[in-house]
A = this chain, B = another copy of it.
Amino acid sequence: MQAVALYPDGPELRVIEAADPVPSDDEVLVRTRRVGIDGSDRRIVAGDIGGDPPDGADHLVIGHEAVGVVEDPNGSDFETGDVVVPMVRRPTDETSRFAETGELDMAPPGTFSECGITGAHGYMAEYFTADPEYLVPVPDSLADYGIFVEPASIAEKALDQSFAARSGFDWRPETAFVLGNGNLGLLAIARLSTGEEFDRTYCLGRRDRPDPTIEFVESVGATYVDSRETELPEFPDVYEPADFVFETTGYPRHAIDAVGALGPNGIVTLQGIPGDSTFEVEGGGFHSDLVVNNKGVLGVVNSRRPHFEAAVEWLQTVPTAVLDDLVSGIYAVEEVEDALLDGDETIKTVVSFEK
């Protein structure tokens, strides 16, 4: 079968001919339909993060946002033809209590591998195998759009954690603010704008009109905020205080400045993973503002089955035209280098294995 493999030396990306995977006793064989590409794939291929091959292998098959069809249920409860989305993390120690409780997203670094990211092959191949406990069923109507389940599950986890964090009182949020208009930011603004949790939504970017991301933000009913005109701490005065901020930029000042965009009792969730960066902050005000306004900041990484399931629920409510607007290009596997290019017109690119 064809597979997209990253060789660590270089690093070098190649489309290789690999042996078709053979499912072990506990595994299902899945035929891949589509694999989405996000910013972390670009960083992996560039050698910036992750990219470790599985033990004993000389390459890593990339891709972690996939949708496929069950080819061989192999004794599981799945049936041939079922549409499925695979989850990302696998325990390196099966007896880990996070593996037992299905909360690998909360497991400490070093106790798991991440398929297509580091330590375990991903899904950018004609076939992959997976234990059924890591496959989430998806309705046929999402066979093309299942690539959005994994990234949307991150937004679901952020919401889940934030509402949990505010469950100690009668929280009544009204406004949500997404930082960043990359593919995760746009998917999140769609989720938050079309969901029930918030009345008004905003999305931060730094683009001039006309721009497809600004058009998308406005098409889902959100307000575009230009970061060149409005600094985060000015957001409450220029627009209104945010009850929930969802950060996707990986810009390290946002971990501090986003607190200033919140109203009382608000929550920031951070999703970006920046490298080292030293800078000056007005740390006294950051500290006091958190306290006197009962604000909170939560780091959020990865997601678990209920978040995948919530994402599937949400995606079924979204007009396919909205999701189509997020796909800026569909590529054959031989065109993967093009799919990995990033530009002003790029939102979500997809590698398709459909013939």
Contacts and interface: CB of A to CB of B under 8 A. Distances in A.
A277 B254 CA distance: 18
A350 to B, nearest CB: 26
A298 B269 CA distance: 12
A255 B286 contact: yes
Given A164-B168, A167-B167, A286-B252, A291 B281 contact: no
A134 B148 CA distance: 50
A290 interface: yes
B281 A281 contact: yes
Interface stretch (A26-34, A100-108, A181-189, A317-325): A100-108
Interface in A255-310: 255-256, 263-265, 270-301
A42 interface: no
A48 interface: no
Contacts of A293: 108-109, 299, 301
Interface in A239-255: 250, 252-255
A16 interface: no
A332 interface: no
A282 B278 contact: yes
B283 A294 contact: no
A229 to B, nearest CB: 23
Interface string A153-193: 00000001100111111101000000000000000000000
A299 B293 CA distance: 7
Contact of A285 (B276, B292, B298): B276
Interface residues of A, number: 59
Nearest to A165: B165
Given A164-B166, A256-B283, A264 B106 contact: yes
A19 to B, nearest CB: 34
Nearest to A285: B276
Contact of A283 (B109, B164, B253): B253
A296 B299 contact: yes
A295 to B, nearest CB: 5
A284 to B, nearest CB: 3
A283 to B, nearest CB: 4
Most buried by B among A97, A252, A292, A297: A297
A179 to B, nearest CB: 12
A282 B253 CA distance: 10
B299 A292 contact: yes
Contacts of A297: 290, 296-298
B290 A282 contact: no
Contacts of A166: 164
Contacts of A287: 250, 252, 254-255, 270, 272-274
Contacts of A285: 276
A160 B283 CA distance: 26
A240 to B, nearest CB: 13
Nearest to A250: B287
Interface of A: 97, 101, 103, 105-109, 160-161, 164-170, 172, 250, 252-256, 263-265, 270-301
13 contacts: A101-B170, A108-B293, A109-B292, A161-B165, A164-B164, A164-B165, A252-B283, A254-B287, A256-B283, A276-B284, A294-B298, A294-B301, A296-B296
